[in-house]
């Protein structure tokens, strides 16, 4: 059973999400929050598997709430809902540590699949779309002088040469299938490498791995 905290400042929107989630045997609503402040508090109290996070809320917005939830180190994964599929809010949410984002007008089955994917540790943003986001807002990435040299970055120090190669192409938007085909590896081997990369670098999911590849300048914006 996956528990979900619904966070939105619109009561009718929360009601709709609740009705959808309660129709599923494997999902349950842990609670509801109408502000970012309440979202942070309830996440700490209820420890839901997934926080379904609205961005635009009065007071503390969803970006800051996401940042605080992730910084607390709890197991909760954040799935952000945004009005547009490519905007600065989605970018900021991913940088804050969200495991993905969906547009608010997504089909119910897409939302349910996204919640389940995030709960299982996957990311809900296609690698290529994550790269588009980062390329679009590349001016907000650390300047070369502010970022860590890949050769000395402690997050990369434990990676093997093959793992660093795979992290680089993850940052370039390659899927597991593409990595397997182009590097002549079994897809199961690629999945094992990706899992080890996440564990060694301490990043939460594939989206954050893409961001790490940018931050360390393994990949440079187009």
pLDDT in tens, 19-64: 999 999 999 999 999 999 999 999 999 999 999 999 889 899 999 9
Contact 209, 100 (CB under 8 A): no
Q: Report which DSSP code applies to 139.
A: G
Q: What is the pLDDT of residues 128-150, one digit of tens each?
A: 677 777 777 666 665 544 555 55
Cα–Cα distance for residue pair 196/64, rounded to 1 Å: 29
Domain locations in the chain as residue ranges: 2-122, 136-215
What pTM was estimated for this model as a whole? 0.75
Considering the segment(s) 136-215 as one domain, its CATH architecture is Orthogonal Bundle (1.10)
Contact 97, 204 (CB under 8 A): yes
For 2-122, which CATH superfamily applies?
Response regulator (3.40.50.2300)
């Amino acid at each position: 059973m996956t528990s979900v905290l619904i966070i939105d400042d619109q009561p009718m929107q929360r009601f709709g999400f609740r009705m959808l989630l309660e129709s599923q045997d494997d999902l349950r609503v842990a609670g509801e929050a109408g502000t970012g402040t309440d979202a942070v508090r309830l996440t700490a109290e209820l420890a839901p598997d997934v926080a379904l996070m609205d961005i635009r809320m009065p007071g503390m917005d969803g970006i800051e709430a996401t940042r605080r939830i992730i910084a607390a180190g709890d197991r909760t994964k954040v799935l952000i809902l945004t009005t547009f599929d490519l905007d600065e809010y989605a970018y900021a949410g991913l940088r804050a540590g969200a495991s993905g984002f969906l547009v608010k007008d997504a089909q119910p089955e897409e939302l349910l699949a996204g919640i389940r994917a995030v709960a299982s540790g996957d990311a809900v943003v296609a690698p290529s779309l994550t790269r588009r986001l980062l390329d679009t807002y590349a001016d907000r990435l650390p300047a070369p002088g502010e970022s860590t040299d890949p050769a000395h970055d402690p997050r990369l120090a434990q990676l093997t040469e093959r793992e660093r190669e795979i992290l680089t192409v993850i940052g370039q938007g390659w899927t597991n299938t593409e990595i397997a085909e182009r590097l002549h590896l079994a897809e199961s081997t690629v999945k094992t490498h990706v899992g080890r990369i996440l564990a060694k670098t301490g990043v939460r999911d594939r989206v954050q791995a893409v961001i790490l590849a940018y931050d360390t300048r393994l990949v440079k914006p187009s």
